Amino acid sequence: MAKHINCSIKAPKETKPGKKQDDFYVFEKTEHLRSKTIIVTSHKEQFDCLLKLYQDIDYDDKKIYLSEIRTKLNSYKQQDREKVRDINNNISFEDVIEKLITSKLVCYYCRGNVNILYNNIKQEDQWTLERINNDIGHTNANCEICCLRCNLKRRCMPSFLYKKSKEFGKVVKLHD
């Protein structure tokens, strides 16, 4: 049996305490007056589920993965609308799946593992779509997969400089 890690998908407004079942914790998330059980699995299992999603193979948690990816993608579209960026060329669901697979669920900057399913909204190792040029919306050519930590830390620093700083470690400016 695959090993599961303790979890809940996001920090919902109303969360019941987790119940231990076998090797994992099950959390119930109430959404639209219905309850669904979500199990966050290991990084490898999430990648395997992503491959099945790409190949359109049915599996138990397929709806959860579809829902989580679509929800995040829709929030990026909404973000672009609010910032009055062109949304006609936004990245498609299929392109996001391909980027997630191509990245092997590894951050573009720090090379750390990223997760599709995660414990809470502010979890630093969750996947995000990083815009290389922050003046442009979430297009396929302008996005890379990265962790929330790097996405937030980069801010308005040019992407290539942030990537180099991650490769070299801490960069210290020396006085002339």
Provide the H-helix boundaries in the chain: 43-54, 62-82, 93-103, 148-154, 159-168
Q: What is the pLDDT of residues 126-138, one digit of tens each?
A: 999 999 998 899 9
Per-residue pLDDT, averaged over 167-171, amounts to 64
The reply to whether 144 falls in a domain is yes
Q: Which residue has the higher pLDDT, 120 or 71?
A: 71
pLDDT tens figures, 90-115: 999 999 999 999 999 999 989 999 99
List the Cα angle 7/112/91 in 5-degree steps: 85
Q: Would 114 be classed as within a structural domain? A: yes
The pTM of this model reads: 0.70
CATH code assigned at 72: 3.30.40.220
**Which residue range is the domain that position 60 belongs to?**
42-168
